[in-house]
Amino acid sequence: MVLISGGGSNLKALLEAASQPGYPARIVAVGADGDAPGLAHASAHHVPSFIVRPTDYSNRAEWGDALAAAIREHAQLAVDDPLLVVSAGFMRILPGGFVQEFSPHLINTHPALLPSFPGANAVRDALAAGATETGVTVHIIDDGVDTGPVLRQLRLSVHPGESEEALHERIKQLERPLLVNAVRDIATGTLALEPNSDLPSSR
110 is catalytic: yes
H/E segment holding residue 99: helix 96-102
- Strands 133-140 and 150-157, by their bridges, are antiparallel
Nearer to ligand GRF, 172 or 184 (CB): 172
Stretch in the footprint of ligand GRF (CB under 6 A) among 15-23, 106-114, 143-151, 185-193: 106-114
Stretch in the footprint of ligand GRF (CB under 6 A) among 44-52, 58-66, 108-116, 189-197: 108-116
Count CA within 13 A, CB hemisphere, residue 66: 16
State phi, psi for 149 to the nearest 5 degrees: -55, 130
H/E segment holding residue 66: helix 60-75
The site map against ligand GRF for 76-95 (x = CB under 6 A) is ------------xx------
Task: Select the residue whose beta carbon is closest to ligand GRF and give its number.
Answer: 89
Reduce the secondary structure of 35-62 to three states and give it as a string.
CCCCHHHHHHCCCCEEECCHHHCCCHHH
Least Cβ distance, residue 79 to ligand GRF (angstroms): 31
110 part of the interface to ligand GRF, by CB under 6 A: yes
H/E segment holding residue 106: strand 106-110
The site map against ligand GRF for 173-202 (x = CB under 6 A) is --x---------------------------
Binding-site ranges for ligand GRF (CB under 6 A): 4, 6-11, 38, 88-89, 109-111, 172, 175
Active site residues: 110
